Structure 1
Amino acid sequence: MERLTGQVALVAGGTRGGGRGIAVQLGAAGATVYVTGRSSGGERSDMDRPETIEETAAQVTAGGGTGIPVRVDHSSPDEVGALVDRIAAEQDGRLDVLVNSVWGGDPLADWSLPLWEQDLDTGLRLLRQGVETHVITSRLALPLMVARGRGLVVEVTDGNTARYRGAFFYDLVKSAVIRLAFAQAAELKPKGVAAVAITPGFLRSEAVLEHFGVAEGNWRDGVAADPHFAYSETPAYLGRAVAALAADPDIMDKTGRALATWGLYKEYGFTDADGTQPDWAAHWDDTLVGEYGPLGDPL
């Protein structure tokens, strides 16, 4: 589990959910991880949730890595630029893994109305929060990777196919994030830097656990409300997928691809926190395809 010892990672949007899972598992593999977001012990973001970047960083360190929390609004080029300057100064210009996991868009996504009935300002804010933050962070952080001729960019999304996700602006953001990985891969490949998109399956984030009225220790009690919840996965599963990618000496073979936990566990052999290997695509094909259609081929 020390495959990434000596490596430096930036997990943008590492406060909770998939971002936290990725940060912690990169730490478990030995990396130094800068954990960024707007929710800190001193100030909550407009998400107004209790999780903080300090908590994530502490989990990174407890797991065997070095966690460094930095409060950053990734919509601000000035704040992101200051973060990158700090990483360059503290790590001798080294950045091995950049994870763009900024989201915070759940309160902004409208799942009930079509585009022509939605609030335009809210939808455009969702685009700025879920896409522009990724562009800003990559623009300012990538020079560190390009200068060294190696590295991995991970764009965290929802789904790895062209299938419509059920809400206009939500779908646009998550599809655009995949395209961000594809476009970065095209430009970075000659520089020796890889870029991929990755999706979890049914993710048991903190907010999802609250929705079902359970905690991780008794999460299976939520299956009574939704049988599909039985096939969910923890953020650690996504984190272990990213850690495996970061440690893969042949990662350039995957650059430009949209990947998923349900495919990568078969290749790398990692498990979820409880030792299982959830496969959301297989469950979809077994039980949901008749109602919702196929997931589709990966982009």
Structure 2
Amino acid sequence: MVHLAGKVCIVTGATRGIGRGIALQLAESGAKVYITGRTLEPRKGSSLGGSLRETASEAEARGGTCVPIQCDHTSEKDVERLFEIVKNENDGQLDILVNNAYAAINAIFSSLGTSFYEFPPTLWDDTNNVGLRNHYICSVYAARLMVPRKKGLIVNVSSVGGLQYLFNVPYGIGKDACDRMAADCGAELRKHNVAFVSLWPGPVATENVIDTIQTNIESGRNDDREVPKGYADKDMLPTFKICETTEFAGKCIAGLGSDPNIMAMSGKVVTTFDLGRKYKLQDAHGHVPIDMCSLKFALQHSGHTWLASITPSFIQVPKWLMWLSANRFY
């Protein structure tokens, strides 16, 4: 069902992974979607693929419209040019911005199991320049278009790493700040009827994740200093292949973009599972992805696989208990 017809969107970092999936779903829902990334044309010899042209071609094959804009999100001039193009081509209209661009995958995997003080301080920039910093800059330019029109939605793609330790120190700080950005920007934008949310996808079977697991299996690596627990385990491959696809987050954002009560969620963290349940969504394989707030998920990812196997998936860990587990007050 086309329910974003006439809307103008920007999805940053849409050459592959979650960004590509979000762009495809927004375009399929009827929106005109501007997509950004560093790679405009298909790369020869790349097993993972990933270019703006490929994403745009797939969107068009589904009957949607994607406009590729090559953009280096470390460059504020490139970002400013992106928003000028969108403004000029659409009479100042921008309805949805999805802050997804992220360039830290290699930095994350290279630093796993190593303490922050053992790496150069530049690990911070590698992790958060195209991410936290760029999300803020894009949000500034987006708000300048949305506020005069008194409507719009900004989404930061974040993760549970903003609540508890995950991967490395700069990663957690960056994701926590993305959540706080949604809260604080949402507070200032509320009077202008512009919503800002932070989206937590669950485990997602991106091309990079699947490729990393497969590579680690083939190389026989299972060292916690090299890969996360379970990422070199052959049993994890089928698990990731049946979790969220890269397009489920896109279905959720399409739902947010057409929700008449979106302001009730502004400033909040929302999960893909909760949005899927709210909007009655199914993933590409016809299943509902696992709830990362479920007891089953918590047991599985804390190493209690046997207990997880006999625990019903509908038993949830209350969100207030999750927040208390990260309580920072003495």
Change (3 A) 1:80 1:288: closer
Q: What is the CA deviation profile of residues 135-176 of structure 1, one whole-angstrom value per residue up to 9, with x for unaligned ones?
A: 111112221111100010000012276222141111112211
Change (3 A) 1:80 1:284: same
Letter aligned with residue 250 of structure 2: G
Change (3 A) 1:189 1:198: same
Number of the residue aligned with 1:271? 282
1:102–1:129 contact (8 Å) kept in structure 2? yes
Instruction: Work out the CA distance in 2 between the residues paired with 1:262 and 1:140.
Output: 30
Bigger RCO (CA 8 Å, 6+ sep)? 1
Number of the residue aligned with 1:203? 204
Mean alpha-carbon deviation: is it higher for 87-96 or for 154-163?
154-163
Measured after TM superposition, the shift of residue 42 of structure 1 is: 7.2
Letter aligned with residue 198 of structure 2: A
Counterpart check, 1:284 vs 2:297: yes
- What is the correspondence of 1:8-87 to structure 2 with a 5 Å cutoff? 8-41=8-41, 50-87=49-86
Instruction: Work out the CA distance in 1 between the residues paired with 2:72 and 2:193.
Output: 29
Instruction: Work out the CA distance in 2 between the residues paired with 1:175 and 1:238.
Output: 19
Number of the residue aligned with 1:88? 87
Counterpart check, 1:107 vs 2:70: no
Instruction: Work out the CA distance in 2 between the residues paired with 1:130 and 1:291.
Output: 33
Measured after TM superposition, the shift of residue 290 of structure 1 is: 6.6
Instruction: Work out the CA distance in 2 between the residues paired with 1:17 and 1:42.
Output: 15
Number of the residue aligned with 1:183? 184
SS in 2 for 1:141: helix
1:160–1:260 contact (8 Å) kept in structure 2? no
Identity across the alignment (%): 33
1:31–1:65 contact (8 Å) kept in structure 2? yes
Measured after TM superposition, the shift of residue 273 of structure 1 is: 0.3
Q: What is the CA deviation profile of residues 220-252 of structure 1, one whole-angstrom value per residue up to 9, with x for unaligned ones?
A: xx9953264365210111110111111101100
Q: What is the CA deviation profile of residues 24-72 of structure 1, one whole-angstrom value per residue up to 9, with x for unaligned ones?
A: 100111000000011111789xx99630011112222222321100001
SS in 1 for 2:122: helix
1:151–1:193 contact (8 Å) kept in structure 2? yes
SS in 1 for 2:166: coil
Structure showing greater Rg? 2
1:185–1:255 contact (8 Å) kept in structure 2? yes
Number of the residue aligned with 1:232? 243
Instruction: Work out the CA distance in 2 between the residues paired with 1:231 and 1:42.
Output: 27
Instruction: Work out the CA distance in 1 between the residues paired with 2:48 and 2:240.
Output: 23
Letter aligned with residue 89 of structure 2: E
Measured after TM superposition, the shift of residue 112 of structure 1 is: 1.6
SS in 2 for 1:120: coil
SS in 1 for 2:278: helix
Unaligned runs of at least 5 residues, structure 2: 216-231, 306-316
Mean alpha-carbon deviation: is it higher for 55-64 or for 139-148?
55-64
Measured after TM superposition, the shift of residue 211 of structure 1 is: 2.6
Number of the residue aligned with 1:252? 263
Q: Scaled by the length of structure 1, what TM-score is found?
A: 0.88
1:7–1:31 contact (8 Å) kept in structure 2? yes
Instruction: Work out the CA distance in 1 between the residues paired with 2:43 and 2:184.
Output: 35
1:111–1:167 contact (8 Å) kept in structure 2? yes
Q: Scaled by the length of structure 2, what TM-score is found?
A: 0.80
1:20–1:235 contact (8 Å) kept in structure 2? yes
Instruction: Work out the CA distance in 2 between the residues paired with 1:169 and 1:43.
Output: 30
Measured after TM superposition, the shift of residue 286 of structure 1 is: 5.0
Measured after TM superposition, the shift of residue 86 of structure 1 is: 0.9
